[in-house]
Amino acid sequence: MTSNTELREQYLQKCSDFACPPIFPILEALDAGRTLDVVALDGNSKELFNNRINPLQVFSLCEFLYDYSTLTVLRLQYNFLNNMAVQAIARLIQSNRSLRMLDLTGNQVTEEGAHALVGVLSAPDCGLQALVLRNNPLGDSGALELADMLRVNTSLTLLDMADTHCGIQGLIGVANALMEANNTLKILDLEDAVLQAPQDSTYQHLSRMLAASPSLTDLSLAKHRMVDSQLELLVAQGFSRSRGEWSGLSLRGNRLSPFAGPTLERLLSGCPRLQRLNLSANALGNEGAVSLARCLPRSCAALRELDVRGNGIGDVGLIALAGALPLLHTLQLFLVWGNHMGPGGARALADALQHPALRRLRADVKPYMVEGEVAMALQEV
């Protein structure tokens, strides 16, 4: 078994080979005798903010980790890494079969980098289970590379493509790949696709994906500019025909109106195991909130997190939601700030939050008194 001193010398030699300084957190871990099963190097952290990881340091680190058998997680967020660094990471995935999660959030990965990752992820013996490419400029070309990979990959259970400059072409490519061939992916994040004016045909492809992908359990279609009629299409042709058991759904930041309430009721009636529901930053209003309050207790008995922030909900809707909260026995997180909270809604929420059934509930609002009236303040959760 290699000693920590030997490992330290091996790492320093790799840094010397690439003429780059060692990464201090890696050196610190080796000096302390800690195993590198989880390597987390967040460029936005206090420790690395002014000394982010560069590609040469990635080359040396990856070569050092080729035979490191306990490595399971590699996080390199917000280091502005380019495609050359990703090629080194791809070789690491190919060499080290123990790696299960790769997080490249907030770097400069483009189509070329995606192509390098696809080359190893398409191999039948690939062991990577989670790939996070959030906030990288993949574009449609990079998204289509990933779509081709999904047709043959059998290891990935999580793919995060949020904010990757993916447009309609890339979105449809991913949807078609999942519809045709993939039975392993469970969690898919397509937030903030570049959809200036999404057509119903785009949602027809997504609907077919939902109907034909039994493995999907978590989906984000946040910030898609989706309107009520397109949600109706997804529900009628997608969710209602889905064989999956949904546990997480985000429709945050769309254009859903109060008239979307009945459609949401039909959607949620088919998701009895839903645990996380994010509807924030829409325009559901009182009518939408009343619909949610009516259907959630009877349809979503496993719900743990509910986010309805910034929906223009007034006292009528807030009173309805407050009445439903004690019936959601599994609810642990409730986010409601940013609505039109008058005295009636604030009083109803304050009473609900003190209910014995909600002892473990965390909310982003806290009641206080102003001249005998209940008001709400924002609090961290």
pLDDT at 381: 86
Total number of residues shown for the chain: 381
Whether 42 has a pLDDT exceeding 80, the answer reads: yes
Q: Which of 206, 279, 261, 273 is nearest to 239 (CA)?
A: 206
Q: Considering the chain, what percentage of its residues have pLDDT values greater than 90?
A: 85
CATH number of 252-381: 3.80.10.10
- CA 204, 205, 206, 207 torsion: positive or negative? positive
Q: How far apart are alpha carbons 7 and 314 in whole angstroms?
A: 61
Q: How far apart are alpha carbons 239 and 234 in whole angstroms?
A: 6
Q: What is the pLDDT of residues 248-289, one digit of tens each?
A: 999 999 999 999 999 999 999 999 999 999 999 999 999 999
Whether 242 has a pLDDT exceeding 90, the answer reads: no
Query: Residue by residue, what is the 3-state secondary structure of the chain?
Result: CCCHHHHHHHHHHHHHHCCCCCCHHHHHHHHHCCCCCEEECCCCCCCCCCCCCCHHHHHHHHHHHCCCCCCCEEECCCCCCCHHHHHHHHHHHHHCCCCCEEECCCCCCCHHHHHHHHHHHCCCCCCCCEEECCCCCCHHHHHHHHHHHHCCCCCCCEEECCCCCCEHHHHHHHHHHHHHCCCCCCEEECCCCECCCCCHHHHHHHHHHHHHCCCCCEEECCCCCCCHHHHHHHHHHCHHHCCCCCCEEECCCCCCCHHHHHHHHHHHHCCCCCCEEECCCCCCHHHHHHHHHHHHHHHCCCCCEEECCCCCCCHHHHHHHHHHHHHCCCCCEEECCCCCCCHHHHHHHHHHHCCHHHCCCEECEEEEEECCEEEEEECCC
Residue of higher predicted confidence among 90 and 195? 90
Q: In what order do the strands lie in the sheet with 362-363?
A: 38-40, 73-75, 101-103, 130-132, 158-160, 187-189, 218-220, 248-250, 276-278, 305-307, 333-335, 362-363
Q: How far apart are alpha carbons 11 and 251 in whole angstroms?
A: 45
233-262: average pLDDT: 94
CA distances from 362 to 46, 151, 306, 333, 358 (A): 28, 41, 11, 5, 9
Whether 4 has a pLDDT exceeding 80, the answer reads: no
pLDDT at 197: 66
Q: Which of 72, 39, 38, 45 is nearest to 57 (CA)?
A: 39
AA identity, residue 190: L
Q: What is the pLDDT of residues 287-324, one digit of tens each?
A: 999 999 999 999 999 999 999 999 999 999 999 999 99
